[in-house]
Structure 1
Amino acid sequence: MAPKTRAQLAEALRKRDVPDEAADAVLSRFSELGLINDEAFAAAWVDSRHHGRGLAKRALAAELRHRGVDTDTVAEAVERLDSEQEAETARRLVERKLASTRSLDPQTRTRRLAGMLARKGYSSGLAFRVIREALEQEGIEVEEDFP
Structure 2
Amino acid sequence: MAAGSEEDEFSAGAGASRSRPEHTSQGGTVEQAKEACLRLLAVRARSRAELAQRLAAKGFTPDITERALDRFTEVGLIDDAAFAEQWVHSRHTFSGKGKQALAQELRRKGVSQTDAAPALEAITVDDEQQRAAELVRRKLRTIPPNLDRDKTIRRLVGMLARRGYNQSTAFTVVKAELAQARLDTSDLD
Could you state the TM-score of these two structures normalised by the residue count of structure 1? Answer: 0.91
Q: Following TM superposition, by how much is the alpha carbon of 1:11 offset from its aligned partner in structure 2, in angstroms?
A: 0.8
C-alpha distance in 2, partners of 1:8/1:83? 30
Q: Which runs of 5+ in 2 are unaligned?
A: 1-42, 184-189
CA–CA distance in 2 between the matches of 1:99 and 1:20?
52
Aligned: 1:132 with 2:175: yes
Indicate which of 67, 88, 92 corresponds to 2:130.
Answer: 88
Percent identity between matched residues is: 41
Q: Distance in 2 between matches of 1:103 and 1:62?
A: 36
Q: Which deviations, in whole Å up to 9, do the C-alpha atoms of 1:73-114 show, x marking residues without a partner? A: 111211111110000001111111112222311011001001
Q: CA deviation at 1:15?
A: 1.4
- The residue type equivalent to 1:110 in the other structure is I
What corresponds to 1:121 in structure 2?
164
Q: What is the TM-score with the length of structure 2 in the denominator?
A: 0.71
Aligned to 2:73: 31
* Segments of 4+ moved more than 2 angstroms: none
Q: Distance in 1 between matches of 2:53 and 2:181?
A: 51
Secondary structure at 1:100's aligned position in 2? coil
Aligned residue type for 2:140: L
SS in 2 for 1:17: coil
Tell me the equivalent position of 1:144.
none
* In 1: Cα distance, 2:70 partner to 2:101 partner: 29
Number of residue equivalences: 140
Q: Secondary structure at the match of 1:133?
A: helix
1:45-60 residue pairs with structure 2 within 5 A? 45-60=87-102
Is 2:69 aligned against 1:18? Answer: no
Q: Give the Å deviation of 1:22.
A: 1.4
**Mapped partners of 1:126, 1:16: distance in 2:** 43
Structure 1 gap ranges (5+) = 141-147
Q: CA deviation at 1:139?
A: 2.9
1:8 aligned to 2:87? Answer: no
Amino acid at match of 2:126: E
Q: Which has the higher contact order (CA 8 A, sep 6+)?
A: 1
Match of 1:63 in 2: 105
Q: RMSD of the alignment, in Å?
A: 1.1
Aligned mates of 1:138, 1:26 — CA distance in 2: 55
